Amino acid sequence: MTTYKGINGFAVQSVATDPSPLDEGQVWYNNATYAFKLAGIQAAAWASGGNLNTARSQIGGAGTQTAALAFGGAVSDPGMTTATEKYNGTSWTNNPTGLNTERRGLGGAGTQTSALGFGGTIPSPLSNVASSESWNGSAWTNTPSLNQLRGNPGAAGASNTSALAFGGEVGPYTTSTELWSGSSWTSNPTGLNTARTQLGGCGTQTAALAFGGEVTGPPAHTTATESYNGTAWTSVNSLNTGRSGIGGAGVQTLALAFGGITPAPALTGATELWNGTSWTTNPTSMSTARRLMGSSGTQTAALGFGGMSPYQATTEEFTGASVATKTITTS
């Protein structure tokens, strides 16, 4: 009779505590709990998080899945907000002070304690702005403005001293790219290859990724993806689903794209993973299809919050596939 030892060359190990780290397919017997166990793949999935205190869309976002920042946004048409909220991995807390400039469709970069908000649209008169604000963990401070007015720009960056703004609406859609040094914005000589707004972005000032967005079309919602090396943008393999108002998380070589509105047009919760070369569609989508949400985190631990339609307060947490312990049963 074929045995486990005969197949693998060794017997099942008996241990008092589960091994760490795990290798997929690893089998052992836990003699403390009297159970055979297996290291198997835990599928990637979205799960519900705590609701925002203020339902909104076109919202700025920064940080990680367990330490995120949400700021500004649209609460009605044409109502906007300065509200700033912090997420601790379970719930959102209102910050006593909000943005200095009420706006929607602003770019966001950085962390929960060191963020930057820039561009966007103000309500009266309804117009795009270039204003920029820096966040120190408790309050916003006005900083020098972008060189170009823009609403719904793409954004990347690690802190309030190093950020990247690209694309957006300046009237027509733009390709222009600007770099933030901590004291001023500098226009990059070369911009995106595809002019667009409401695009996804992630990464750092010197290694960023731009994907999706609304273009003059048709179709109005693009699959175009571009990689930035600190100097210029290069077109790379496209998203599987063209969309705008898309959420993004991660870094240039390991990114996550989720939600948005497709050419149908229809809201989507579709999720795609970028491995540095191509996009793969994840089997599980967001529970609530939405566009123009806030986003933060990494490819394996991302956060999507707010969005529309209608104006959303819901938050969803994405956990990437991992090797997890499973108890072997006879059922």
Name residue, tokens 């309804």.
Answer: 126
Query: 31 and 66, same structural domain?
Result: no
Query: Which residue has 């496209």 as its token pair?
Result: 238
> In terms of Cα–Cα distance, which of 85, 16, 18, 19 is closest to 49?
85
Residue 325 lies inside a defined structural domain of this protein = no
CATH code where residue 71 lies: 2.120.10.80
The answer to whether residue 331 sits within a structural domain is: no
- Residue 323 covered by a domain: no
258 shares a domain with 152: yes
Residue type, 93: T
Domain that holds residue 37: 4-42
Number of domains in the chain: 2
Whether residues 141 and 193 share a domain: the answer is: yes
pTM of the model: 0.89
Does 172 share its domain with 194? Answer: yes
My answer on whether 91 and 24 are in the same domain is no
Q: Is residue 255 part of a domain?
A: yes
Residue 327 lies in a domain: no
Q: Considering the domain boundaries, does residue 303 fall inside one?
A: yes
CB of 311 closer than 8 Å to CB of 55: yes
Look at residue 55 and tell me if it is in a domain: yes
Q: How far is the C-alpha of 86 from the C-alpha of 93, rounded, in Å?
A: 5
Residue 206, beta-bridge partner list: none
Tell me how far apart the alpha carbons of residues 234 and 220 are, in angstroms, rounded to a whole number: 21
Q: How far is CA 167 from its chain centroid?
A: 17
Pair 235, 225: CB distance under 8 Å:
yes
Q: Are residues 145 and 239 in the same domain?
A: yes
Q: Are residues 20 and 67 in the same domain?
A: no
99 and 223 within one domain: yes
**Is 155 inside any structural domain?**
yes
Question: Which class for 29: exposed (0-12), middle (13-18), buried (19 or more C-beta within 10 A)?
Answer: middle
Q: Which residues contact 170 (CB under 8 A, 6 or more apart)?
A: 128, 148, 149, 150, 176
Asked whether residue 38 falls in the same domain as residue 54, the answer is no
CA distances from 240 to 257, 258, 282 (A): 10, 11, 11
Does residue 144 sit in the same domain as residue 104? yes
Q: Based on the domain organization, do 35 and 109 belong to the same domain?
A: no
pLDDT in tens, the chain (331 residues): 555 555 555 578 899 999 988 888 889 899 989 998 888 887 899 999 999 999 999 999 999 999 999 999 999 999 999 999 999 999 999 999 999 999 999 999 999 999 999 999 999 999 999 999 999 999 999 999 999 999 999 999 999 999 999 999 998 999 999 999 999 999 999 999 999 999 999 999 999 999 999 999 888 999 999 999 999 999 999 999 999 999 999 999 999 999 999 988 899 999 999 999 999 999 999 999 999 999 999 999 999 999 998 999 999 999 998 777 888 887 5
Same structural domain, 29 and 94: no
